[in-house]
Amino acid sequence: MTTSFDRARAYAAGTAPLPFPIPEQVTIQEVGPRDGFQLEPGVISTPDKIAIIDALSATGVPRVQVTSFVRPDAVPQLSDAAEVMAGYTPASGVEYSVLVPNLKGAERALETSADCWELMLSSTDAHSIANANRPTAEAFERLRPVIELGLAQGKHLVGGMATSLGCPFEGRTPFERVAWVVGLYAEAGVSHVTVADTAGLADPAHVYEISAKLRQEYPDLRFTLHLHNTRGLGIANALAGMAAGITDFDTSVGGLGGCPYAPGATGNIATEELVHLLDLLGVHTGVDLDALTTIARGPVATAVRHKLESSFEKADPSWVLHTPPQRQELAGA
């Protein structure tokens, strides 16, 4: 059976190699059902969310972020977290994660089948106060019992780090600050952290620098890049991360997403756009691009009831060719 990856490689045959290293394989976590949906103004029904999660699980994506156990009044769109967790059908080989902001959320998550708990922390004090009403160090102390509970329960813990690549209140986040937050997680026993460009402020040079230094300073940790495409640099930033050795990325179907505490922030990099690029470069993701675009244009677009931010809203993969026009004979020529 010919896959979209095969078609991409045939289309790109003979392309010169990039002047910087790229990995042979990349792991993508689909965060659309949580980050993508959380700020949608129209209510997305629980059955629609479940159907989309099940469809995404069948595309070959290895990780899906399903929902968040935040206060229902804080994020009304995700107030059905327990129902969604009880309703989806786990697919073999797919890890399902939930966002766990505090101990109460962790206790709710324990009642579900979630494989992974993603923790929520801001790298800058200003964003932490906007998001958690307390500076970063104090917010982390409130996460310690969550970490202890998760480790005791054998959960895969991922330490989220918002505004690690730029803060809408403080500007560019220096490496020393990012490394300090990573160190907090590492000392508490968390070996996987997510470096997030929450407001889409990053540029490729900064992404490369932060990623390369973090991998050098913490060689035993696993790093995920969580990039937003607010200023159109998301895919370029992903390439910069790969050049620095990052092989884990969060993406959102349709390019949906945003942060309620980051003014002007728009969606994540679109899953279908990153998969399309990686297919062309010969980087394996295991994700079926054809299935992904069908889901984005169909059930996702129907559920959100507005145009998607992804370029695949109006464009096909670059290897899809169209019938050329026929020459017209002009009368009297």
- Short-list 152, 178, 232, CA closest to 200: 232
User: Could you give the 3-state DSSP secondary structure of residue 96?
Assistant: strand
Pairing of strands 116-119, 95-100: parallel
Please answer whether residues 152 and 188 qualify as being in contact, where contact means their C-beta atoms are separated by less than 8 angstroms. no
Residue 32: C-alpha distances to residues 3, 36, 63, 304 (Å)? 23, 4, 11, 11
Q: Which of 259, 262, 274, 283 is catalytic?
A: 259
Q: Which two tokens stand for residue 47?
A: 């059955």
Give the Cα separation of 136 and 181 in Å (integer). Answer: 8
Residue 88: C-alpha distances to residues 35, 52, 54, 109, 291 (Å)? 17, 9, 6, 15, 18
Sign of CA dihedral 167, 210, 161, 268: positive
Residue 122 pairs in a beta bridge with 162
Please answer whether residues 279 and 9 qualify as being in contact, where contact means their C-beta atoms are separated by less than 8 angstroms. yes
Q: Is 116 annotated as catalytic?
A: no
Enzyme catalytic residues: 259
